[in-house]
Structure 1
Amino acid sequence: MTRKSTYNVQPFRSETEIDDFLFFLRRTKNHKRDVFLFQFGLNTGLRMSDIVGLKVGDINKPEPIITEKKTGKKKRLFLDGIQDVIQNYIKGMDDDDYLFPSRKGGHLSVNAVYKLYTKIGRNLGRDDIGCHTLRKTYGRFYYLKTHDIATLMYLFNHSSEKITKRYIGITDDEAKSSLKGFRIGIKGGDI
Structure 2
Amino acid sequence: MNFVQPIRDQETIDEIKDYLKQQSERNYMMFVLGINTGLRIQDILKLRVRDVMGPQIVMHEMKTGKRKFISITSTLRTALKKYTANMNKDDYLFPSRQGGKNRPIKRDMAYKIMKEAAKEFGLVDVGTHTMRKTFGYHMYQKTKDITLVQHLLNHSDKSITMRYIGMDQDMMDRAMHYFGL
Is TM more than 0.5 here? Answer: yes
Superposed CA RMSD in Å reads 1.4
1:92 and 2:97 are equivalent in the alignment: no
Deviations 1:110-156 (A, max 9, x none): 11010121122223223311000100000000001101111111111
Structure 1, gaps ≥5 residues long: 185-191
In the TM superposition, 1:95-106 aligns within 5 A as 95-104=89-98, 105=100, 106=103
Note if contact 1:9-1:133 (Cα within 8 Å) is conserved in structure 2. Answer: yes
Q: Is the 8 A contact 1:53 1:108 kept in 2?
A: no
| Counterpart Cα distance in 2 of 1:109 and 1:178 | 41
Give deviations 1:55-96, integer Å, cap 9, x for gaps: 001111233311111111110011033211111111122110
> How many residue pairs were aligned?
177
**Identical residues among aligned pairs (%):** 37
Higher-Rg member (1/2): 1
Higher helix share: 2
Work out the CA distance in 1 between the residues paired with 2:58 and 2:97.
Answer: 27
In the aligned structure 2, how far is the partner of 1:21 from the partner of 1:91?
A: 23
**Mapping 1:1-191, distance limit 5 Å:** 4-5=1-2, 8-28=3-23, 31-81=24-74, 82-104=76-98, 105=100, 106-184=103-181
| Higher alpha-carbon deviation: 166-175 or 77-86 | 77-86
Distance 1:59 1:23, change over 3 A: closer
Equivalent residues of 1:64, 1:76 under 8 A apart: yes
Q: Residue 55 of structure 2 contacts residue 71 of structure 2 at CA under 8 Å; is this kept in 1?
A: no
Contact 2:38–2:131 at 8 Å: present in 1 too?
yes
TM-score scaled by length of structure 2: 0.92
SS in 2 for 1:9: coil
- Report the secondary structure of 1:65's partner residue: strand
